[in-house]
Amino acid sequence: SLLNARSVLVRNRNFWCTIEKHGSASCFGTDQVRSKLEPTVAMDSPTASQCSFPDLRDVFPGCSSYEDLYNLSIKETDLFWGTLARMSLRWNRDFEHVSNCNMESGLFRWFLGGKLNVSVNCVDRHKEKDPDRVALIWEKDEPGQEERITYGQLYTMMNQVANVLKTHGVKKGDRVAIYMPACPLAVASMLACARIGAVHSVVFAGFSAEALASRINDAEATVVITADQGVRGGKLIELKKTVVAAVGNCPSVKAIFVAKRTGSLVVSSTLDVDLDEAMAKESGECEPAVMDSEDLLFMLYTSGSTGNPKGVVHSQAGYLLYASLTQRLVFDCKEGDIFGCVADIGWITGHSYVVYGPLANGVTTVLFESTPTYPDPGRYWETVQRLKINQFYAAPTAIRLLLKHGDEHVEKYDLGSLRTLGSVGEPINVEAWQWYNKVVGKEKCVVVDTWWQTETGGICISPRPSAPDAEIHPGMPMRPMYGIWPVIVGEKGEELKGNDVTGALCLKKPWPGMARTIYGAHSRFLETYYQPFRGFYFTGDGAIRHKNGYYQITGRMDDVINVTGHRLGTAEVENALGQHPSVAESAVVGYPCNDKGEGIYAYVTLKDGFLAGVKMETELRGIVRQKIAAYAVPDVIQICAGLPKTRSGKIMRRILRKVAADQTENLGDISTLADPAVVKDLIANHQTIK
């Protein structure tokens, strides 16, 4: 009936809502019931959502189940997202159209004409209601030294950083690089950018100076925010030194803001600004910039199958809505909950589920600075007990590692606060899933394997939302999120209908959290995601749709590999190796590795006059560490006489993958190789992986 009605007036616990067909809806408090025709969202005057966690079945009458809501989200997309956007976000100005998207041309616009400020949504509205509510718990490297930051304190910090940026000339649209691990000032810095309309580019604080420099240069960032040093697993990380080494090659950078973490003396540069001192001079109030829904919020570099990492761009309103909605629905996160996502803020999981999603929902979010095994493999669980974490979100690589250390490290602790256990970043094998469910969750928690990507902005496939008793199968994300329409595409680009099919995972319908472009490279954006299969967003992953309609991810279909939950392009490693003077050619592939998900196997041919040996391998590893980061260093380097190539000169990676995986009995057709003898040499010198 909802779908046929032109407009309905709906009442739920806390507000009234008019929903009109084709996407317009207005919400207003029960004490303000006026004519339903009266506009309820005044232009240029902020509106506040009256209710942060409504049950969607109350919001959309006629929908009594997940299936109903899902069908509505697919059939009446604008109505669905328009209603939720008005209800969950505070707008300075209402939007005129919910969406204008085209999967063929790759142009996506959501909440057109709307104006808002993301930092107001993440901080101000919660601070107004309850300034003493804890926003952040900084779980520092040493256990038991956590610091709590309330919404009131976060408001002041964020505004002070925003004012510091303004004082140093940072303007709306300028790019700000942030090179910091998870800590309150990193969050305040991200929000400060949002406050003044600057675009942040957080660079994972494990990247090398060269990798940082290339990201700063691509974005033409005008300032960098960092800390003197980082502390992780009892070790010091030279953040400031790395930044100084990087900005030597970054002409766009005008200032380096340095926050104090350890207080140690570090390399100083003429660009240095002591962030703590500069903040102390600034006011704790900063007028929020009024941003268009589609202005850039941030960019985040991620690996692709070719070329340099690309700066995936997310915009304001759609991203925030999608991150916050998925955070509360997938994890069943309620007001007052303590949400513990242990990802680093340098990755998308940290952006959406440490910072933006939880803060937009006004919950308490944990900033985890340490490692899963510091000071011992009970660290996560001791932290859960001490902080009373309700939802815990981690990567399968960490879960597999902890499983190996034994149950005693978990059983020591009271994990009774936990309700949801999440997994992200790579497929979670059934054994690890079972251990997570039984040993950590005591079979009382909902375990959600969540599939998504930097480009999707938030979780797209996950067992929840669904009915509280809906079945969950180990090792697969199962069900599409509202608004997400997954399709499986065959080799010829045809959509494979029905169940029990395997192919390329694509998404058929736009959703608000989707990436808008690659910074400075829109044609690369189109080529990568929208041209492989016309009319679909191509994820780069393969998937199976099982007979019951559930989705299971089979892994990347391109030359991107997944190492300890980090996405890495094999081409990036090859580029780094190629910069060593000895290297003639290299080919890098992933191989299945129990602990890390995938291991990195590099085949290298040397120029004449260079000798293979331990010294050479050490140098090659060193150059990868120097050009990218420690996690990108190959586990195996096989120096070989030649690479298997077709007559047209294309490297046959299929063969290299099989040799790396020790599956040489069935190499398939090698008759098209220019020199089949190469394969014998590869097998003879194959290094078995420890």
**Where along the sequence are the contacts to ligand WTA (CB under 6 A)?**
302, 347-349, 424-427, 449-454, 477, 539-541, 553, 556, 562, 567
In whole angstroms, the minimum distance from the beta carbon of 173 to ligand WTA comes to: 25
End-to-end Cα separation, the chain, in angstroms: 62
Return the SS3 of 684.
helix
Taking the C-alpha atoms of residue 180 and residue 344, their distance in angstroms, rounded to an integer, is 9
Q: Which of 372, 365, 283, 375 is nearest to 324 (CA)?
A: 365
Q: What angle do CA 109, 110, 112 make, to 5 degrees?
A: 85
In whole angstroms, the minimum distance from the beta carbon of 394 to ligand WTA comes to: 12
Comparison of 567 and 686: residue with beta carbon closer to ligand WTA: 567
Q: Are strands 551-556 and 537-545 parallel, antiparallel or unpaired?
A: antiparallel
Return the SS3 of 448.
strand
Comparison of 84 and 343: residue with beta carbon closer to ligand WTA: 343
Comparison of 486 and 644: residue with beta carbon closer to ligand WTA: 486
Comparison of 247 and 507: residue with beta carbon closer to ligand WTA: 507
Check residue 549 and give left, alpha or beta (phi > 0: left; psi -120 to 50: alpha): left
In whole angstroms, the minimum distance from the beta carbon of 154 to ligand WTA comes to: 25
Query: Residue 224's beta-bridge partner residues?
Result: 177, 256
Are the CB atoms for 526 and 273 separated by under 8 Å?
no
In whole angstroms, the minimum distance from the beta carbon of 209 to ligand WTA comes to: 22
Comparison of 94 and 541: residue with beta carbon closer to ligand WTA: 541
Comparison of 256 and 553: residue with beta carbon closer to ligand WTA: 553
Structure tokens at 524: 């690369």
Taking the C-alpha atoms of residue 81 and residue 100, their distance in angstroms, rounded to an integer, is 13
Comparison of 390 and 539: residue with beta carbon closer to ligand WTA: 539
In whole angstroms, the minimum distance from the beta carbon of 423 to ligand WTA comes to: 6
In whole angstroms, the minimum distance from the beta carbon of 541 to ligand WTA comes to: 5
Are the CB atoms for 122 and 191 separated by under 8 Å?
yes
In whole angstroms, the minimum distance from the beta carbon of 566 to ligand WTA comes to: 7
Comparison of 309 and 634: residue with beta carbon closer to ligand WTA: 309
Point out the residue whose Cβ comes nearest to ligand WTA. Answer: 454
Sheet holding 446-450, edge to edge: 147-150, 134-139, 364-368, 338-341, 391-394, 420-424, 446-450
In whole angstroms, the minimum distance from the beta carbon of 389 to ligand WTA comes to: 20
Comparison of 451 and 601: residue with beta carbon closer to ligand WTA: 451
Question: What 3 state SS string does 628-659 have?
Answer: CEHHHCCCEEEECCCCCEECCCCECHHHHHHH
In whole angstroms, the minimum distance from the beta carbon of 449 to ligand WTA comes to: 5
In whole angstroms, the minimum distance from the beta carbon of 319 to ligand WTA comes to: 14
Comparison of 98 and 403: residue with beta carbon closer to ligand WTA: 403
Question: What 3 state SS string does 336-374 have?
Answer: CCEEEECCCCCCHHHHHHHHHHHHHCCCEEEEECCCCCC
Our measurement of the distance from residue 314's CA atom to the centroid of its chain's CA atoms, rounded to an integer in Å, reads: 11
In whole angstroms, the minimum distance from the beta carbon of 572 to ligand WTA comes to: 14
Comparison of 347 and 482: residue with beta carbon closer to ligand WTA: 347
Taking the C-alpha atoms of residue 561 and residue 220, their distance in angstroms, rounded to an integer, is 28
Query: Residue 179's beta-bridge partner residues?
Result: 226
> CA neighbours within 13 Å on the CB side: how many for 282?
23
In whole angstroms, the minimum distance from the beta carbon of 179 to ligand WTA comes to: 18
Comparison of 28 and 452: residue with beta carbon closer to ligand WTA: 452
Cis, bond preceding 468 (omega within 30 deg of 0): no
Are the CB atoms for 686 and 657 separated by under 8 Å?
no
Query: Residue 461's beta-bridge partner residues?
Result: 451, 480
